[in-house]
Amino acid sequence: MKHASPPHDSSITHVTGESEYVDDRTMLAGELFVGCFYLKVAHAEIDAIDTSAALKIPGVAAIVTAKDVAHNAWGPIFQDQPIIADKVTEFAGEVLAVVGATTPEALRRGLAAIKIRHRTRPAILTIGEAITRKSFIGGERFIRRGDVDKALNDAPHRMSGKLVIKGADHFYLENQSAVAYPKEAGQMEVHSSTQHPTETQHVVAEALGVNFSDVVCIVKRLGGGFGGKESQSSPIAAYAALVANKTKRAARIVLTKDDDMIMTGKRNPFEIHYEVGFDKKGNILALRSRLYSDGGAYADLSTAIMERAMLHSDNAYFIANVEVIGQVCKTNCHPHTAFRGFGGPKGVAVIEGIIEDIARELKLDALDIRKSNVYREGHDVTHYGQVVENNRLPSLFNELEKTSDYRRRRSDISLFNHNVLTATNRFSPGAETLRGLSMTAVKFGISFTTKFLNQGNALVQVHRDGSIQVSTGAVEMGQGVNTRIAMLVAEEFGVSLDTIRVMTTSTEKNANTSPTAASTGTDINGAAAVLAAQKIKQRLSALALKLAIISPENWPSKTAGLGSFPEIEIDTLDDSPGLTDFSGNKIVIPRRKLSNVSSNNTATGQLKNAERFSISFPQLVNEAYLSRISLGEYGHHRTENLGFNKLTGQGQAFQYFSQGAALSEVEVNRHSGEIKVRRVDILMDVGRPINESLDIGQVSGAFVQGMGWVTTENLVYDNEGYLLSHSPSTYKIPSVQDTPREFNITLDHNPGNKANIRGTKAVGEPPLLLAISVWSAVKDAIRYVSERDADHLAFNRTHLLPIPATAEQTLRHLDPHLFTAPVIK
What positions carry a catalytic annotation? 765
Gyration radius of the chain over CA positions: 29
Half-sphere exposure of 169 (CA within 13 A, CB side): 30
Q: DSSP H helical segments within 248-375, as ranges?
A: 257-263, 302-311, 344-362, 366-373
Q: Are residues 660 and 653 in contact, defined by beta-carbon separation less than 8 angstroms? A: no
CB neighbour class for 337 (10 Å; exposed up to 12, middle 13-18, buried from 19): buried
Angle between helices 302-311 and 344-362 (to 10 degrees): 40
- Tell me the C-alpha distance between 648 and 384, whole Å: 9
**Pairing between strand 500-502 and 468-472?**
parallel
Residue 117's Cβ-count burial label (10 Å; 0-12, 13-18, 19+) is exposed
Main-chain phi, psi angles of 584, to 5 degrees: 60, 30
Strands 455-462 and 468-472: antiparallel
Rounded to whole angstroms, the Cα distance separating 594 from 577 reads 8
**3-state helix/strand/coil string of 98-166:** EEEECCHHHHHHHHHHCEEEEEECCCCCCHHHHHHCCCEEEEEEEEEECCHHHHHHHCCEEEEEEEEEC
Beta bridge partners of 372: none
Q: How far is CA 436 from CA 441, 665, 778, 794, in A?
A: 17, 6, 6, 20
Give CA–CA dist 141/326, Å, rounded: 5
Backbone phi, psi, residue 800, to 5°: -70, 145
Output b/e per residue, 566-597; b: 16+ Cβ within 10 A: eebebeeeeeebebebbeebbbbbeeebbeeb
How would you classify the pairing of strands 95-101 and 632-638?
A: unpaired
Using CB atoms within 10 Å of the CB of residue 86, give its burial: 0 to 12 exposed, 13 to 18 middle, 19+ buried.
middle
Distance CA 670, CA 488 (A): 51
CB 95 within 8 A of CB 36: yes
Q: Are 35 and 111 in contact (CB under 8 A)?
A: yes
